[in-house]
Chain A
Amino acid sequence: MNNIVGKRREPLSDTKLLMTITISIFVAMYLLAMALLGGGFLHPQQIFDMLNDNASLIIVSCGLTIVMIGGGIDISVGAVTSLVVMSCVLYLNNGGNIFVAALLAIGIGLAFGLVHGYLISYLEIQPFIVTLAGMFFARGMTTILSVNPQKVTHEGFQSLRDVKIEISWLGYTAKNGNLVPARMELGVVIAFVCLIAVFILLKYLRLGRCFYAMGGNQQSALMLGINVKRTRFLSYLMSGCLSGISGFVFMMHTGAGNATNAAGMEMNAIAAAIIGGTLLTGGVGNVAGTFFGVLTLTTIKKIVVSSGLNDPWWQNITTGGMLCFFILLQSVVLSRRNGKKK
């Protein structure tokens, strides 16, 4: 009667399956690029560059993954990032201190998250509209603060920016014979900290599992005794907080505030999450997958450029094509799985 025999192989959960597909495709793509295109792909620095450039995207994508797992959406993340950058730049240039600037960044993010969470969870307004308004508000406030780009002149900050973690053995020899070590910015470290923190939250903390439950079946979550309103509120709060952190990291990378910062970041984050196996309908998703989603998006762009397809439209078209591929793949894989089971 007990047919639980030893170590039976457990079929992958939906989340894990999608993530595995993504990682496989990413690795295959990268290897192919290394083989066929060579050049920059052969140097580990390539990956570090990708990380350096996208640290803030990784951070907001974590936040978006949380919200999407819970069945919602947050399209304000790019705008909030931009507002945070501008605010912190102005603050620092007016003689502020770095630590307080960091708090300011998180504070602004939390403020947005709070308002979004309240309107969506307790007033039951559609997330799309609320975060759309948030996006408008943040973009508008950015230009109200300053229409013109502002560079950071704070000395302490400059030195912070210059901090780079060097890994010499992953470096390469430049044309002039010098050994150029692989360089990683501080922002990437912060991004990894966020990734790990969110990973732990989603896997090992009760709140994280509640996000999954709420996204999987809201009615059931309610019946199982989960405070759905509070859980939803917290998911948006976290997304806001992460947007704040992302803004600070963005500032560390570019050193300047600009009205057009992080334009379109929200859609990139959503795309990264989708490619990484997060479903918009909720209940399925994983930050590890999202991380690879970001890498996949960036790799595609780099492949396109390296292939000599210089015309800028190719990047977007291949990104769009990739997105289409993943969306269809998800839809087909999941319907096969869930159709067979019954």
Chain B
Amino acid sequence: MKEDVLLTMRHIEKRFPGVLALNDVDFTLRKGEIHALMGENGAGKSTLIKILTGVYQMDGGEVTIEGTPISIHSPQDAQNNGISTVYQEITLCPNLTVAENMFIGREDSAWIRHKDYEKRADEILEKLGIPTRGVTQLGRCSLAIQQMVAIARAVDMKCKVLILDEPTSSLDDKEVNMLFKLMRDLKAQGVGIIFVTHFLEQVYEVSDRITVLRNGELVGEYPVEQLPQVELVAKMIGKSLDELSNLGEKNEKAAEKNDVFYEAESLSSSQALPFNFKIHKGEVNGFTGLLGSGRSESVRAIFGADKINGGTVKIKGENVKITRPIDAMKHGIGYLAEDRKRDGIIAELSVRENIILALQVMNGFFKPISRSESEAFADEYIKVLNIKTASRETPVGSLSGGNQQKVILARWLLTHPDYLILDEPTRGIDVGTKLEIQKLVLKLAEDGVSVTFISSEVEEMLRTCSRLIVMRDRHVVGELKGDDLNQAQVMKTIAGGEA
């Protein structure tokens, strides 16, 4: 089938210090096609997109538009070549009107004729079926509409390639449908759409083709009808369906006999739908599912990190109220957040100070940890976790990602929690340390600590967890234990979803 090829990327290579982010990646986009680009963290999706949008420069490879090679050195170049991007974070100005947002930065004259702009905007909005008016202040529109206005701007700029980067993350079902209708309309007009998302069902609902990346390499490009969900999931996060092996040596059974340490019923937060959950003393459980399936939101609700909307929580059988992180901490719960830059490290403070922070907060305002004590703690954990740092006084911001992660891990270990939640603790860490952390998790469980382990790498969780809760698109779709704990079953549950 020789369809009109709109965009090709061949042999794309991109390096960062110490990491090969993209290795010989190809990508093809045809006219009037919705093409989903998928991959987990570190797969290279966002790097590829940033090369297309001119934020990064590729180290090797070629990009062509309608057959002509182009070079993109800046966002302006990308735009001049007809490549428009709509990001997850709205890059419009909420204090201006819809019409102004559509035309600002590219007006033809210095004099703004508001009425004209609003009329033009209304025409475009009506054509695209976006339910708002040019005269409305953007900030008063829902996020979905704001996103669609961003798309309208791109369309008005006669874009050929439209990149939608995680457009549906904050939308509800109705809004997603609105967006899809718009995308289909654009498709009919011949626009090529690159749809970056992690929501499986949406991919299957609206895409024509899927390209999967993993670890900076191209896994393959497939027409959507030729790739069942289970296979897609396998290509993204696992080994191929043939290579399944179950690496055993863990505790499972023992834990179930212990008392329940933490139990939640209908726990819901501003970010998480109501769910039930319980964990025994000394048990290791995991939340799995693709990125964005709601794993982090659920554990944040356990820790009280988001606004709690409802539900009851029991610790050691007694009702407790956990509405803020300090409540959780006082009950012996620790939480290593997923986004260590935003929620974890205090960049300008030293390694030592970062390590003792949580313990310090728990000790209270009037019981400062003495300098010598904190130095001792820091030294201990630097040794135990093999943290590579020039000294314990080095600002944590200058450490590598993996070592930063170890510092935060040290921080929570120092509080000797009864229940430790680790959200992607091994992301960005070298293989050797990954194994160490897994071993550490098992040892903690042996010592009676409950652990919740979240990772994008299913093998890791299979190796350590005795129970896996599977989530998809914000819902719990299954709980696996015992014999069900194998790659195949996990994939199937994530993709297909039987409980």
**Could you tell me the distance between the alpha carbons of A225 and B109 in the complex, rounded to whole angstroms?**
15
Q: Which residues of A contact B69 (CB under 8 A)?
A: none
**A4-B131, A14-B95, A283-B95 known; A205 vs B139 contact (CB < 8 Å):** no
Q: Are B135 and A10 in contact (CB under 8 A)?
A: yes
| B residues 74-104 in Cβ contact with A at 8 Å | 75-76, 79, 90-97, 100-101, 104
Residues of A within 8 A of B105 (CB): 213, 221, 224-226
- Within the assembled complex, what's the spacing in Å between the Cα atoms of A250 and B402? 63
A206 touches B91 (CB 8 A): no
Closest Cβ of chain B to A283, distance in Å, is: 4
Tell which of A3, A220, A225 touches B92, judged by Cβ atoms closer than 8 Å. Answer: A220
- A15's closest neighbor in chain B, by CB? B95
Residue pair B110, A224 in contact (C-beta under 8 Å): no
Known contacts A4-B126, A10-B135, A338-B139; is-contact A204 B96 (Cβ 8 Å): no
Interface residue A156 (Cβ < 8 Å from any Cβ of B): no
For chain A, residues 215 to 268, give those with C-beta under 8 angstroms from any C-beta of chain B: 215-217, 219-221, 223-226
Q: Are the CB atoms of B110 and A206 closer together than 8 Å?
A: yes
Residues of chain B within 8 A (CB-CB) of A10 are 133, 135-136
**How long is the Cα–Cα vector from A337 to B139 in the complex, in angstroms?**
10
The reply to whether the CB of B129 lies closer than 8 angstroms to some CB of chain A is yes
| Best-buried of B113, B140, B143 by chain A (most CB within 10 Å) | B140
Evaluate contact between A342 and B143: CB separation under 8 angstroms.
Answer: yes
Residue from B93, B110, B129, B137 whose CB has the most chain A CB atoms within 10 Å: B93
Find chain A residues with CB under 8 A from B92 CB.
217, 220, 224
- Neighbouring A residues of B133 by C-beta, 8 Å: 4, 8, 10
In the complex, which residues of chain B have a beta carbon less than 8 angstroms from the beta carbon of A174? none
Nearest neighbor of A226 in chain B, beta-carbon distance? B105
Q: Are B91 and A219 in contact (CB under 8 A)?
A: yes
Query: Chain A contacts of B96 at CB under 8 A?
Result: 209, 212-213, 216
Partner of A13, one of B109, B112, B137, B142: B137
B16 at the interface (CB under 8 A from A): no
Inter-chain contact B142/A342, CB cutoff 8 Å: yes
Q: A4-B122, A206-B109 are in contact. Are A224 and B131 (CB under 8 A)?
A: no
Is B365 on the interface with A (CB-CB < 8 A)? no
| Beta-carbon contacts under 8 Å, A154-170 to B | none
Task: Tell me the count of chain A residues lying within 8 A, CB to CB, of chain B.
Answer: 36
Q: What is the 8 Å Cβ interface bit string for chain A, positions 1-45, against chain B (1 contact, 0 not)?
A: 111100010110111000000000000000000000000000000
Closest A residue to B97 by CB, please name it.
A13
Q: Does A207 contact B (CB under 8 A)?
A: yes
**Does more than half of chain B's interface fall in helix, strand or loop, or is it mixed?**
loop
Q: Which residues of B contact A224 (CB under 8 A)?
A: 91-93, 101, 104-105
CA distance A208 to B114 in the complex (A): 13
The docked-state distance in angstroms from the alpha carbon of A216 to that of B95 is 6
Which B residues are in CB contact (< 8 Å) with A337? 140
Q: How many angstroms from the CA of A44 to the CA of B109 in the assembled complex? A: 42
A204, A208, A221: which contacts B93 (Cβ < 8 A)?
Answer: A221
* Chain A residue with Cβ nearest B79: A225
Question: With the chains together, A210 CA to B113 CA distance in Å?
Answer: 15
- List CB contacts (< 8 Å) of A190-204 with chain B: 203-204
Q: How far is the CB of B269 from chain A (nearest CB, A)?
A: 15
Flag if A223 contacts B91 (CB, 8 Å).
Answer: yes
Do B122 and A213 have beta carbons less than 8 Å apart?
no
CB of B95 within 8 A of CB of A11, answer no
Known: A4-B133, A14-B137, A225-B76. Contact between A206 and B112, CB under 8 A? yes
In the bound assembly, the distance between CA atoms of A207 and B109 in angstroms comes to: 11
Determine which residue in B79, B92, B97, B111 has the highest number of CB atoms from chain A within 10 A of its CB, and name it.
Answer: B92
4 further interface pairs, Cβ-Cβ under 8 Å (given A205-B110, A215-B95): A2-B131, A13-B140, A204-B111, A213-B100
Q: Can you give 23 A-B contacts (C-beta < 8 A)? A: A2-B126, A4-B122, A4-B126, A10-B135, A11-B140, A203-B114, A204-B114, A205-B111, A206-B104, A206-B111, A212-B95, A213-B100, A216-B94, A217-B95, A219-B91, A220-B93, A223-B75, A224-B93, A224-B104, A226-B105, A283-B94, A338-B139, A341-B142
